[in-house]
């Protein structure tokens, strides 16, 4: 089965990345980036489905399937997988997110054929035996309990469920005890065959490899992969965030966990670099406003940060803090004060430059390994359908002005769209809407 389209990708950069793209006859897209200065190759099979693409009664099945493929295939047991990966010194891993599932392996360049064979076997030939399903249900139910005992995780989960209320984006990636306990072999196989299709997958690789030779190896393994219909997950309307104040009382906790958030732009939005810079200055590092004001100047919290969670059609920007119950209102007041400052006063050129330098450094450092470049290829393809060079990204970052940051702060930090979740031994604490005035 010959490949039907091969394309060399050029990025705007003084040192262009050697990226090439081939679409196989069955529709599977294969992306590579050649990095001749390294001795490793990282490979990943990316599936365009995640927890937000599940029906309510199947919540958690993407994550469940991710676990189940490691339980054995038609040609290898789980123990044989472990031995073969260790024999070549490889690193085999997987993860499930809100919008994707990834299976990946990193090996020495001399072990690419073996590593690819292992990864392909894992993705293409799982057995999903009833016995393995029953055992893994127990494992994941314990994982759910473990996460529920983690207050940092739990406050974020409570916030997300209420922020994206009644939408799949708000459901937990792991699922619930009820949904996970309901999965059987037919359910798992039906989900697997409907989502693990060529049109809904991207295979990416980066490292010391040659594109045409590598594509030939991928084609030999994946040419038999087919699917009913186009296999692509149907996209629904973007969810609307729900402003709320949620107080979850848990007497066993010593600290109050705070999560405060607002809706934010989608992952491919034109203003994304401005929002990243805003987030960096607000709470993205040790020099950020929240860290300096709340932790360093006043000692009100050990952990305080802000973070972006962008998705294909929407996103959120959230502030997290862990603090004592008697300091909670002060932490909230100071956070609102920083929101207000960003809205009313343009940031200085010096502060913006520090944020730009930090963001550019993180991007460059993040592309130093074959694994990060493999992931970067897949994510850019899945979200943008094109590839950005470091120079192009740098130009976009440098173009952001203090006025842009102030405008974004005014758009984002509006009291009527804010949501707050508090978790801990709250006693008789009450938080009213006026606490969210900025």
SS3 assignment for 378-424:
HHHHHHCCCCCCHHHHHHHHHCCCHHHHHHHHHHHCCHHHCEEEEEE
Q: Which residue among 57, 66, 296, 351 is the active-site one?
A: 66
Of 40, 31, 29, 19, nearest to 371 by C-alpha is 40
| CB atoms closer than 10 angstroms to residue 359 | 20
Q: What ranges in 125-210 are assigned the alpha helix state H?
A: 130-148, 151-163, 177-182, 185-195
- CA 381, CA 31: separation in Å to the nearest integer? 9
By three-state DSSP, how is residue 99 classified? Answer: coil
Instruction: List the one residue out of 256, 6, 44 whose CA is nearest residue 152.
Output: 256
DSSP string over 19-87: EEEEE-TTS-EEEEEE-TT-SEEEEEEEES--GGGS-GGGTTHHHHHHHHGGGBBSS-BHHHHHHHHHH
Provide the β-strand partners of residue 158: none
Count, residues in the chain: 438
Tokens of 414: 């509006």
- Is 66 one of the catalytic residues? yes
List the catalytic residues. Answer: 66
């Amino acid at each position: 089965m010959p490949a039907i389209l091969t394309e060399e990708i050029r990025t705007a950069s003084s040192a262009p990345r050697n990226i090439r793209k081939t679409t196989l006859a069955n529709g599977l897209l294969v992306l590579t980036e050649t990095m001749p200065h390294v001795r490793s190759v990282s490979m990943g099979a990316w599936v365009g489905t995640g927890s937000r693409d599940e029906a309510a009664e199947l919540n958690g099945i993407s994550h469940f399937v991710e676990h189940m493929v490691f339980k054995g295939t038609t040609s290898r047991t789980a123990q044989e997988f472990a031995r073969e990966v260790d024999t070549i010194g490889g690193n085999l891993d997987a993860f499930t997110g809100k919008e994707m599932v990834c299976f990946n392996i990193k090996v020495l360049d001399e072990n690419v054929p073996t590593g690819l064979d292992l990864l392909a076997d894992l993705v293409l030939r799982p057995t999903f035996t009833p016995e393995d399903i029953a055992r893994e249900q127990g494992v994941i139910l314990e994982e759910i309990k473990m996460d529920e005992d983690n207050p940092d995780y739990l406050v974020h989960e409570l916030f997300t469920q209420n922020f994206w209320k009644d939408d799949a984006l708000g459901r937990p990636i792991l699922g619930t005890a009820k949904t996970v306990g309901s999965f059987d072999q037919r359910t798992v196989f039906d989900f697997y065959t409907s989502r693990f299709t060529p049109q809904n997958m991207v295979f990416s690789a980066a490292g010391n490899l040659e594109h045409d030779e590598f594509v030939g190896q991928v084609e030999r393994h994946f040419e038999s992969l087919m699917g009913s219909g186009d296999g692509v997950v149907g996209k629904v309307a973007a969810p609307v965030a729900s402003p709320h104040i949620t107080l979850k009382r848990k007497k066993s906790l010593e600290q109050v966990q705070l999560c405060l958030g607002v809706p934010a732009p989608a992952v491919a939005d034109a203003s994304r670099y401005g929002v990243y810079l805003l987030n960096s200055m607000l709470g993205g590092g040790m020099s950020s406003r929240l860290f300096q004001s709340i932790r360093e100047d006043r000692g009100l919290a050990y952990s305080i940060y802000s973070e972006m969670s962008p998705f294909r059609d929407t996103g959120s920007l959230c502030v997290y803090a862990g603090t004592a119950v008697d300091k909670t209102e002060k932490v909230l007041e100071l956070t609102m004060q920083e929101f207000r400052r960003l809205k009313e006063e343009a940031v200085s050129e010096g502060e913006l430059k520090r944020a730009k330098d930090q963001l550019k450094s993180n991007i460059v450092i993040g592309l130093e390994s074959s694994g990060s470049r493999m992931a970067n290829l897949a994510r850019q393809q899945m979200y943008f359908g094109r590839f950005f060079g470091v120079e192009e990204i740098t130009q976009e970052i440098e173009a952001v002005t203090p006025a842009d940051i102030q405008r974004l702060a005014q758009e984002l930090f509006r009291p009527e769209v804010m949501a707050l979740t508090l978790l801990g031994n709250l006693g008789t604490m009450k938080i009213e809407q006026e606490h969210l005035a900025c």
